[in-house]
Amino acid sequence: FRSSQNCGHAYPTFLAVLWCAGLLCSQAPAAFAGLMYLFVRQKYFVGYLGERTQSTPGYLFGKRIILFLFLMSVAGILNYYLVFFFGSDFEIHIKTITSAISPLLLIP
């Protein structure tokens, strides 16, 4: 019951950063991170049924994915303001960096 509540409490945060990262930064790395997050939450839920130490890797891995999505959102917002105020667009660079970093999410 408790693991289900934990997943329910984290889900709105996940949706918010997923949508922001996808809309403001790059869709492919955001979608990949979103799928990884769903698998990690399943691992957390199954690990919670066993000992407490079995759920910890899934929890920490999920927090790392949320951090990645949040940083993507911040980079997209910063790029928007750079374009708006200074006229310099770094969208191509941001997409390249996020596409290169997203496979690193697979490392436990």
Domain hosting residue 49, numbered range: 1-76
The whole-angstrom separation of Cα 83 and Cα 58 is 38
pLDDT per residue over 15-70, tens digit each?
999 999 999 988 999 999 999 998 888 887 777 777 767 777 778 888 899 999 99
The whole-angstrom separation of Cα 35 and Cα 7 is 15
CATH code of 65's domain: 1.20.120.550
Q: Would 12 be classed as within a structural domain? A: yes
pLDDT for residue 71: 94
Q: Would 90 be classed as within a structural domain? A: no
Instruction: Indicate if the pLDDT at residue 92 is higher than 60.
Output: yes
The whole-angstrom separation of Cα 34 and Cα 20 is 12
Q: Work out the number of other CB atoms within 10 angstroms of the CB of residue 20.
A: 18
pLDDT for residue 33: 94
DSSP character string of 32-82? HHHHHHHHHHHHHHHHHHS-HHHHHHHHHHHHHHHHHHHHHHHHHHHHHHH
